[in-house]
Structure 1
Amino acid sequence: MDKIIEYIKYKYEPLVIIVYGSFADGSNNLESDFDALVISKNYKKVHDTSFVNGIQLDVYVYPERYFEDNYDFEEIKQIYGGNVILDNENKGLNLKKQIENYIENRPLKTKEEIMENISWCLKMLERVKRNDAEGAFRFHWLLVDSLEIFSDMFQKPYSGPKKALKWMKENHPEAYILYKRALIDFDIESLSDWILYMKSLV
């Protein structure tokens, strides 16, 4: 990671570096990319996907002025739980606190909203059964969205698939087994088992 930080410092002259994802929580492996948010004094907004020392970057660079006005918290919510490893005038720490406040105080899904989402899952399941190209597309769509819907059912902030799957495995092992089976087997039976299990919880 040191080589990557050196590269970022040399290229962007950063005021702030916030590392998140696998390199922040120590779960990185040989296939992991390096996730970070960088605030630079004058550098333009850019997404750096270069390779450094054999590791692909997934680094979002923002000019300092970007955060002086109103900005979309959703755009940078991935820094939630990240590590501030370079900070200037507490800009990084303040930004992280703003995101923590946003994530932890978002309006919770109501029971009615959750029921609507479950109804959507059931409708999608029926459309998947067409067994055509559109049905296959909806199969993928349903698998992706149902993970976030499941998180909402337990008022768990959704922070991407990796964290959601880890949380599910540790706290809802039965759900994890069904969801994993639907992902791997990729057939109607396993998908139906997963969606009907979700329905049984509401």
Structure 2
Amino acid sequence: MTNNELIESLAEDLRLTHGCHTAILYGSRARDDWEAMSDIDVIAFRDAGDHQRVASRWNGVFLDLFIHSTNDEADPGWIRINGGRILFQKDGFGDKVLDDVKALFDAGPEDVPTTELQVRKIWAEKMLERAAKGDVEGNFRLHWLLFALLEDYFAVRRNWYLGPKQSFRRLRETTETHFSIFETALKPGASLDAVREVIGVTFEGV
């Protein structure tokens, strides 16, 4: 089944099985930079029924589906659907959702107070010290730290964090040296000094 056939089949299922009047495809399959293992990411709306999250394997691929009420309003959690593609809609509802999301996106995230950023920086340094133990807990803390640092990197710069794929792409396009620092630290067996360098660039100017 081709990608277009998958999406068309899903649209029909959303109408008939879930009673949705609007559905918006987002993520890699909407941007058309998907790979064979990429999820199908969809947000859909219906007039009746509870909110629903569907995460399952569907026709051989992973489906990540969020079903909302018609009355729900866009919030920062919907930023991920910015630039999405409408699969079907009722009375321009999907266009309105995307317009509202774009307005949120263009406004940018709220500033993180400097005091909070300073706390996060201290936390990162503490986590790195504990990671130096090299035991199972230390290794866990090292992975936790690396995960948090990517999100903090964008928070410090008052940019939306849009998940690893888009974030690393943006990092590579805008600041190649910082991308290389993250890339080095994320390689298996990377040194703690490499991670310390990530902390430095993440909280640059804090």
Q: 1:200 and 1:64 mapped to 2: Cα distance? A: 42
1:146 to 132, 145, 149: 149
The answer to whether the aligner puts 1:77 opposite 2:79 as a matched pair is: yes
8 Å CA contact retained: 1:104, 1:157: no
- What are the superposed Cα offsets for residues 80-125 of structure 1, whole Å, 9 maximum, x if unpaired? 2322232212322222233333333332335554344323322221
Aligned to 2:3: none
Aligned to 1:5: 11
AA partner of residue 103 (structure 1): F
8 Å CA contact retained: 2:76, 2:104: no
- What are the superposed Cα offsets for residues 41-95 of structure 1, whole Å, 9 maximum, x if unpaired? 3233222234333222111112334x1xxx6824433222322232212322222
Aligned to 1:180: 183
8 Å CA contact retained: 2:55, 2:63: yes
1:177 match: secondary structure:
helix
AA partner of residue 202 (structure 2): M
AA partner of residue 94 (structure 2): G
Q: Which moved more, 1:96-105 or 1:129-138?
A: 96-105
Cα offset, 1:13, TM superposition: 2.8
In structure 1, runs of 5+ residues without a counterpart are none
Q: Which moved more, 1:48-57 or 1:145-154?
A: 48-57
Q: 1:51 and 1:34 mapped to 2: Cα distance? A: 10
Q: Of Structure 1 and Structure 2, which has the larger fraction of its residues in helix? A: 1
Aligned to 2:46: 40
Q: 2:202 and 2:160 mapped to 1: Cα distance? A: 17
Cα offset, 1:200, TM superposition: 5.0
Aligned to 2:88: 86
The answer to whether the aligner puts 1:161 opposite 2:167 as a matched pair is: no
8 Å CA contact retained: 1:4, 1:53: no
- Cα distance change, pair 9–50 in 1 and its aligned pair in 2 (3 A): farther
8 Å CA contact retained: 2:41, 2:65: yes
The answer to whether the aligner puts 1:126 opposite 2:126 as a matched pair is: no
8 Å CA contact retained: 2:74, 2:97: no
- What are the superposed Cα offsets for residues 111-141 of structure 1, whole Å, 9 maximum, x if unpaired? 5543443233222211211222322221111
The answer to whether the aligner puts 1:190 opposite 2:199 as a matched pair is: no
Aligned to 1:102: 104
Cα offset, 1:201, TM superposition: 5.3
- Cα distance change, pair 200–44 in 1 and its aligned pair in 2 (3 A): closer
Q: 1:5 and 1:72 mapped to 2: Cα distance? A: 21
AA partner of residue 35 (structure 2): N
